[in-house]
Structure 1
Amino acid sequence: MWEDDPFGGMEQQALEELSEAVRDEEASQFRGRLPTLGEVLDEVGGAVAARRCSGLWVVDTSQLEGWERQHGGGAFDALMGRLAQGVEGVKGAPDVACVEASGGDTLVVFVMGDALIEEGALDAINERLLGAFDRAQMVVQQALERIALGSAMVLANASVDPRRQIYRAIRRARAEAQVGYHDQQRRRSRVVGHLIAQRKIRTLFQPVVRLADRRVEGFEALSRAEGGAAQRLGVHLFVAASRAELDGELDQACRALSLERRPEIGEEGKLFINCLPPTFYASNPELQALLESWRLARMRPDQLVFEVTEQITYEQFVRIMPTVRKLREEGYRFALDDVGTGAANLRLLAELEPDYIKMDLELTRGIARSERKRALAQYLQDLAKRSGAELIAEGIETFDDLEVLQQMGVALGQGYLLGEPREAEAWEGTVAQIMDTLES
């Protein structure tokens, strides 16, 4: 239990200020990547007039207004910066990339030379551009789902100012992007529905490791779309399901498959499973069936850890707590997920009394190089100790970050350095391999 009020006075304010400092630092890393359209307009206009520019394509993020309101301007700036960085990586060498306006929401790439943007080219560009985000945090995945690409030709016409041709082409490309976006949403909804109905879902397991002695504490179950379906979705499975209003159905299917396909965890190991808030609403038959399945497998309650995200509404918080308290009394464990760079929710932390606090992977990545991230992580470490929980650092990918986390006394870790997500069969006898890898 808490020794004092964790969500009154300076405690909540201090955590929010540290989180904001980290978000600002992330945003500042990506600022100033691309020139504005005004800065390249004369150059590109001359290329159009000389028939050295035949077209353009745009990355339209205008659908992110609600996302920015929820997560803040700093998060939006960081996302735009990362997209700009991605655009530089996928455009042709002679092509000119820019942002439509300072502080704007559209990136523009002018295709230089006489090459035309062929049918299907944007799909390939989109796949390459978003592929760099495949291990990004969920909040970023939610933003990517709303991004649209479009293209337009720019043909030389001696009687028209090439600059106006450029502006008009950008408008046409944005209009095409929005039409394509809505078509894409319909396709994704169908794909998600088929995946759930046919259970074409891969269940992978990633180890949660004690950093002090490299002992595997347990495995987190993760779900992915199978093969070709993943390519057709183009975004994270749960993001697509949420957009199709099938996230509840997907959540239940994935949870059942997680128990059915789980690896051997022994007498002391734990299985971490992700749960949307409705899982814990009163008299949920799916939850009762899950618990019965766990009991029939002769597994103890304390070996099952329910992961709850801190990004829930107050109404959901009120509705889940009676069931959460009952499950805790029965011995089941809880983890508070994605804590760190989002909106702080110390009230949920206090009421949930989690056994584990999972530090957001964006906070872990690069912690060895960021004083602000270390300060926030230390604050979370102190909060975990005071609440009787253990801190799990997600997203450990480098030895430098691992060393810093160990020096801070963080109990547990998870990430590609410690073990990639794999199917259950692949984890047989791998505990010793994890220890050998980290000690070498």
Structure 2
Amino acid sequence: MSIAKINDLIVNEKFEHHFQAIYDLHTLTPIGYEALLRTDLFTNPEILFEKASHTNRFFELEMRSIKKALHSFDTINRCTYNNKNILINVFPSNLADPDFLGQLNKILGETTLAANQVMIEINESEIIQNVDYFSTTVYELQEEGYLIAIDDVGKGVSSLQAIVELQPDFVKMDQYFAKHLAKSSRKQEMVKSIVTYCFNTDTKFVLEGIEIMEDLEMAKAIGVSTVQGFLLARPEPLEVIRKYEIDDSEDNGFCSEVNK
């Protein structure tokens, strides 16, 4: 795809977000939703971000995506009393940009969301170049009330170091470890080791990629309390998620307006 088409996508925001629920296994209810960018111009959004990362508009794309996701999710937040989390993926280079926190605070101020409802997932497809500097950036975000998650743990080369150095609020383990978990004693031991670390350091743990009941039952048996995967929920358009949430909540007077 040409630079012109990428620019067109960014400027005219030719993208939307689907939202995938993350479930608490004890209550079998969503604790939050991950915002996943979707566009008709790319079947795989990762290709879009990879191509955009070689342009001077990569940061702008990230911030426009975050703004659109937060504003969309806010229509759910205004209609419920649940105050669930929204998870947004951010590349390390953009997270470390000096303008990131200021722009994020400005976007948040345009919504009814609180900082502690916004979980920033650090994308593992990009290597963290300077862990010390990055740690300071993460600390500043946490001081503002934002939650930090390390995404796809076990997939990237730096994830274990990032867990120790960045002290995230959440650790999300890569879907590789969920696939055939019930049949693999080695995967079970690896998941249990991270679960134990998280428990002892007061860090929340999420296992991604749960697709069959046997793996869900095994995850629960070895101490996993929060999961994400197609078995429980696929990424859905905002309208679908909003209907689920509003149906389960008392109408606060605004819901009828956003559903017109």
TM category, shorter: 0.7 to 0.9
1:250 CA displacement? 2.8
Structure 1: stretches of 5+ with no match in the other structure: 1-186, 435-440
Q: CA deviation at 1:367?
A: 1.1
Q: CA deviation at 1:374?
A: 1.3
- 1:395-410 equivalences under 5 Å are 395-410=209-224
Distance apart, 1:189 and its partner CA: 4.8
Give the secondary-structure state (helix, strand or coil) at the position aligned to 2:37: strand
User: Which of residues 260, 277, 281 in structure 1 aligns to 2:71?
Assistant: 260
Distance of 2:6 and 2:190 partners within structure 1: 37
The match for 2:51 is: 243
What SS does the corresponding residue of 2:76 show, helix, strand or coil? coil
- Aligned equivalent of 1:362: 176
Structure with more helix by fraction: 1
1:264 is paired with a residue of what secondary structure? Answer: helix
**Distance 1:200-1:282 versus aligned 2 partners, 3 A rule:** closer
User: Matches of 1:191 and 1:421 in 2, distance apart?
Assistant: 26
What do the CA deviations read for 1:195-254 (whole angstroms, capped 9, x no partner)? 22321112111111101111211111000112xx235xxxx2232432351443432221
Change in CA separation of 1:213 and 1:433 when aligned onto 2, cut-off 3 Å? farther
2:146 to 332, 338, 341: 332
In 1, Cα distance between equivalents of 2:67 and 2:247:
29
Q: State the number of aligned residues.
A: 241
Q: Which has the higher contact order (CA 8 A, sep 6+)?
A: 2
CA distance in 2, matches of 1:257, 1:316: 29
User: What is the TM-score of this pair, normalised by structure 2?
Assistant: 0.82
1:213 equivalent to 2:27? Answer: yes
- 1:299 pairs with one of 106, 113, 117: 113
Partner of 1:42: none
Percent identity between matched residues is 26
Q: TM-score, normalised by structure 1?
A: 0.50
- Give how far 1:316 is off: 3.8
User: Partner of 1:131 in structure 2?
Assistant: none
For 1:326 and 1:371, how far apart are their aligned partners in 2? 39
Look up the match of 1:139.
none
CA distance in 2, matches of 1:216, 1:405: 17
Give matches, 1:303-322, under 5 Å.
303-310=117-124, 312-322=126-136
Flag structure 2 segments of 5+ consecutive residues without an equivalent. 249-260
The structural deviation recorded for 1:338 is: 0.6
Report if aligned partners of 2:154, 2:160 keep a CA contact under 8 Å in 1. no
SS in 2 for 1:293: helix
Report SS of the residue matched to 1:256. helix
Judged with a 3 Å threshold, the aligned counterparts in structure 2 of structure 1 residues 361 and 294 are, in CA distance, closer, same or farther, namely same
Amino acid corresponding to residue 225 of structure 2 in structure 1: A
Note closer, same or farther for the CA distance 1:218–1:196 as it changes in structure 2 (3 Å cut).
Answer: same
Distance 1:294 1:239 in 2: 27
Cα-to-partner distance string for 1:169-207 (whole Å, 9 max, x where unaligned): xxxxxxxxxxxxxxxxxx365543332232111211111
